[in-house]
Structure 1
Amino acid sequence: MRTIAELPFTAADAYGDRPAHRAKRGGGWVDMSFKELGDTVRALARGLIGAGIAPGDRVALLAETTPEWTQAGLAVVAAGAILVPIYPSSSVEECRWILGDSGARMAICADPAQLAKVERDLLPDLASTVVMSEGELAALAADEGDAELDRRLAAIEPDDPSIIIYTSGTTGPPKGCVLTQRNWVALCTINEQLPYIVAGDVVYLFLPLAHVFAQITQFACLHAGATLAYFGGDPRAIVPELAEVRPTFLPSVPRIFEKVYTALQGAPPAAARAVFGGRLRMALSGAAPIALGVLEFFAAAGVPVLEGYAMTESTGVGTVNTLADHRLGSVGLAAPGTGITIAEDGEVLMSGPHIFAGYWRNPEATAATLVDGWLHTGDLGVLDDDGYLTITGRKKDIIITSGGKNIAPANLENDLRQSRWISYAVVYGDRRPYPIALLTLDPEEIVPWAAARGLPTDLAVLAGHPEVRALLDGVVDEVNARYARVMQIKRFAVLDRDLSQDTGELTPTLKVKRAVVQARHTTTIDALYGESDGRG
């Protein structure tokens, strides 16, 4: 395979009538075969060409995770254009930035609500929009134009850009990571060599397709001949759908595993296996760190949750734990063809055929990130004697106290979040005398606990309630006991609501936007460094 643009058609030839996509329709699950998928992608690609999309044009896709998203995205790439995914949770301002920065010629939107985020008057490059719920995507499909499509497919080169994925912008405006045809082909080759996803697997996907983790999942499924089952759209139904789909492979962010871990405390191991449908061969946790205790819990229950490490800039590939070679607490060994080294300052550097081409229209950022063939990840890590990598924190997140001590907040935060009562923990302390933490309550756990004791069930009230404070004092004391005194949380505050994407405090993969949280709660943080004989 020379290019990823060919993949839907080579997969159709290889796997024919086997199920490629599975989706919830009217209360049941409906399959689309690889042949049907290839035919659909071909028809949509012909339609895009007929609509005036030229090779190299950028086409944005603003929609939830559905089979139609994948079909449209594959068609964009097959037509020789460049796909620009946008999170459906993005604000009007974020959409304006990505559409404007990429110079998108077309925007494919899920429905009128997503279309409303597209400010055409402010986007001179945007020539047209397509609304999927109005039947406009299906209407785009064309029966003619194979000659031009085949000509374009043959003309696509391995180093041509295929997808521009914008980072979530935890520290500023999103940057567009240019991923080439070669990058995605390398990903498929790596999956084949590991292997992770194999022929016959059923893979349940709820991750947003604007994220590289979901993209590598869909491409690996296509290449391997696995069935990709799409969640029905309601996050509250993920656990029931897992029982229905009974996946053999599950890609997920840590938050899902943490929620299941909390809910199953004290339950027999069989309960953990049953939650995932009873057939799960392997789960892969990515996009954010996961606590060691959570991994140990699932390992003991016979549900292998393996952690990997990657970035958008590395096409979602870097280091991997596998069933054959894994070490809990590490993010694994270098993936096949990947170079991993540690710089003098502790930064993880990465090389390989999956490293991105650079940031779209941002040569300065590209030059700072790609140096002498190495991707500077911005993450700190250590390699053990066997080559297993452990991530110790982000360079930009390292806390240097006023006493000159360096503290990585991620470990403290992960340990605090293992408590069933805590939803999020954000640790601060840079240029301050000691570390402090902002905690949010997990409503699914704290509200029933409060109700059983006759306490108020309003989160804002519970945040300041003495019994809740005493509960969290115990959690913080337990976590502090694992760390040297200089690293211990001296004081904490309980926020009156949870963090969310809607407030801009979380990324679409539920990572904390540390700077946003800090700006929103400056007064609270400052108060934790005021004169007091208590903890908060």
Structure 2
Amino acid sequence: MRELSLPPLVPKIRSGGLADSVYAIAEETPDLVQFSRREDCPRATRWLPVTALGFRNEVLALAKGLMADGVGPGDRVAVMSRTRYEWTLFAYALWSLGAQLVPIHPTASAEQVHWILSDTRASAVVVEHAEEAMTVGAICGALPGLRRIWQFDHGCVAELCTLGRGIPEELVHRQRAQVSPDAAATITYTAGTTGRPRGCVITHANLAFECDTLLEGRRELLAGTGEPPSVLAFLPPAHIYGLMVQVSCQRHGVRVGHQPDTGSAHLLSALASFRPTFLFAVPYLFERIYRTARRAAEREGRAETFDHAVDVAVRYAGAVERRALGRGPGPGPALRLQHALHDRSVYARLRDALGGRVRYAVSVGSPLSREVGLLFHGAGVTVHDGYGLTETAAAVTGHPAGRPKFGTVGRPLPGCSVRIAEDGEIWVRGHNVFAGYLDDRRATEEVFRGGWLATGDIGHLDEDGYLHLTGRKRDTIVTSGGRSVSPVQLEERLRAHPLISRCVVVGDNRPFVVALITLDAEALDHWQRLHFPHPVEPRVAARRPELQEEIQRAVSRANAAVSRSESIRAFRVLPGDFTVQEGLLTPSLNVRRAAVVQAYAAEIAELYAQ
């Protein structure tokens, strides 16, 4: 199959903008709880409700304050903060005035911040803490158009609301009424895995179509019968996926809680106290939960039982998947019995790690491995995988409700199309495809092919119309012997090992392929305690022969899937993991391949010298 299109479920909005839903919902259902806040302490277990009417009033008051401070239609205002209630509040206040949102990740470097603020000609920026304020302050002298810096933890929201008290509400409504669906809602920058990030102009219509399509097709998955739907938002809204989650929930009456700290302990604690009914996440979260549960079972002496339960879950989910696709009868009686026996002791623990109420989830950002997808499906949490770009306002494909096919990123969303070009590149189109790169006509023309957006990703559609990703055009390695190698398969197989956190396969213009490997800190600590009486720091542990042998076994298993000329001949275990702060991961936790290769050039050279 080379091309597949699905008819739309929702129409493209013909008038107004994203802020209109705030006022419409407050008018129709003023008592609907749209948000829950932990205002006094970010790690408190008590969540305080914010109704639709209360949110509307706060948005309107902030919009009046922004207007009083000179923000108007078409102005670009940057928000540099973690995921928090005030972020969402600012976004809707800006949209109420016809202003454009410019999200910036809080860990962005001064150079990256300068580029985004200068490229967008932003007139103002709001930051979260003094650290971000210092970053902006260090470069604001070179930004003559930047006239305001606000700070969340200095009470800027309250100050602006006070400033705007004398502004008539009608002035805000008048500006909101002038917003066109085709006007820019946000200038969101690409993750920049290679090269300088580009500003994607995403319109109100793009984002509305994306959000309405996603939830319209999955409304029955959001919560159990009679249960109000809720989502814990922890993905960075500086990334289009995180922004899409918050807009989707607001437009469709799904209660949202904000979790700024995404460290494992803090995130799991927030999931336990908020208890969402649906989850938007990235593959890393599900992999982390599985590995944590496996280590806990090993400590308790239940590793064998846990591994058997995982095997049963995978086989059970595979049988259910084949039945849904019309290729089998489903799990047999013996498998159903084994599955039921493991539910309370093993599967319930995995569900409890997500708060206990999640039965369906969406994973986007990078492909979820088939094994992890089957495991969670068998454990009672169906994770629908999807695929998208900043340029497509998040997802453009996803698993249909009731018919997931694990190991794929689903079929085109309703109203979207996927085509596989002659060279295997994935092309897409739909009402969610962006308006173009900011002030860069040449770059925009380069990615469009007769109305199709060329994604730069390589893949294929199977006989059922499900999309399989196999790599990036620019990531394809060509060895000095002329052999083309797609690193994705090797990297995914290596990351399946409990000790391995990240992997980058290298080999362009080299005689063979090598790998840089990072370790999961918690898994490494657990492994050391099992094998040695006194654990040592990761830098020292990485050189232990026993660890090198363990990783070599993982490399050998990964090499079994490819030819000799594509196999990894040498590897280096790095002393620490890649981080967003170092610029080695994108905000959505994808590896910046070029940045890693540059940062570890000396280690790569040593591997080839050996």
TM-score by length of 2: 0.84
- Percent of aligned positions that are identical: 36
What aligned pairs does 1:150-299 form with structure 2 within 5 A after superposition?
Answer: 150-195=173-218, 198=222, 200-231=228-259, 233=261, 235=263, 236-265=265-294, 266=303, 267=306, 268-299=346-377
Give secondary structure in 1 for the equivalent of 2:38: strand
Contact map agreement 1:23 1:231 (CA 8 A) in 2: no
Q: 1:84 to 1:232 in 2, by over 3 A?
A: closer
User: Partner letter of residue 466 of structure 1?
Assistant: P
Structure 2 counterpart of 1:407, from 485, 495, 501 = 485
C-alpha distance in 1 between matches for 2:361 and 2:215: 17
User: Partner letter of residue 365 of structure 1?
Assistant: A
Give secondary structure in 2 for the equivalent of 1:116: helix
Displacement of 1:175 in angstroms is 0.7
Give secondary structure in 2 for the equivalent of 1:53: coil
1:19 is aligned to 33
Contact map agreement 2:222 2:277 (CA 8 A) in 1: no
C-alpha distance in 2 between matches for 1:137 and 1:272: 39
Displacement of 1:112 in angstroms is 2.0
Contact map agreement 1:273 1:301 (CA 8 A) in 2: yes
Contact map agreement 2:360 2:381 (CA 8 A) in 1: yes
Displacement of 1:7 in angstroms is 2.0
2:588 is aligned to 509
2:602 is aligned to 523
1:534 is aligned to none
Displacement of 1:456 in angstroms is 4.5
1:390 is aligned to 468
2:325 is aligned to none
Contact map agreement 1:198 1:225 (CA 8 A) in 2: no
Higher relative contact order (CA 8 A, sep 6+): 2
Structure 2 counterpart of 1:98, from 116, 132, 137 = 116
TM-align CA RMSD = 1.6
C-alpha distance in 2 between matches for 1:272 and 1:198: 19
C-alpha distance in 2 between matches for 1:492 and 1:429: 12
CA offsets per residue over residues 137-193 of structure 1, 9 Å max, x none?
Answer: 221123332222111111111111110001122212221100001101212331243
CA offsets per residue over residues 266-315 of structure 1, 9 Å max, x none?
Answer: 44222111111221121111112222221121112111112100001000
Contact map agreement 2:67 2:97 (CA 8 A) in 1: yes
Displacement of 1:481 in angstroms is 2.1
Gaps of at least 5 residues in structure 1 are 532-536
C-alpha distance in 2 between matches for 1:258 and 1:271: 14
CA offsets per residue over residues 55-96 of structure 1, 9 Å max, x none?
Answer: 101001111111111001111111111000111111111111
Contact map agreement 2:528 2:535 (CA 8 A) in 1: yes
C-alpha distance in 2 between matches for 1:460 and 1:198: 44
Displacement of 1:455 in angstroms is 5.1
**Larger displacement relative to structure 2 (135-144 or 152-161):** 135-144
Displacement of 1:518 in angstroms is 0.7
Is 1:461 aligned to residue 540 of structure 2? yes
**Larger displacement relative to structure 2 (182-191 or 311-320):** 182-191
TM-score by length of 1: 0.96
**Larger displacement relative to structure 2 (142-151 or 219-228):** 142-151
Gaps of at least 5 residues in structure 2 are 1-12, 295-302, 307-345
Displacement of 1:406 in angstroms is 2.0
Q: 1:320 to 1:356 in 2, by over 3 A?
A: same
User: Partner letter of residue 338 of structure 1?
Assistant: C
CA offsets per residue over residues 494-518 of structure 1, 9 Å max, x none?
Answer: 1122111222211122111111111
Contact map agreement 2:77 2:123 (CA 8 A) in 1: yes
Give secondary structure in 1 for the equivalent of 2:428: strand
User: Partner letter of residue 146 of structure 2?
Assistant: L
Structure 2 counterpart of 1:138, from 158, 163, 168 = 158
2:564 is aligned to 485
1:370 is aligned to 448
CA offsets per residue over residues 448-488 of structure 1, 9 Å max, x none?
Answer: 32234135421111111111101111111222223333332
2:573 is aligned to 494
User: Partner letter of residue 395 of structure 1?
Assistant: K
Displacement of 1:198 in angstroms is 4.8
Give secondary structure in 2 for the equivalent of 1:317: strand
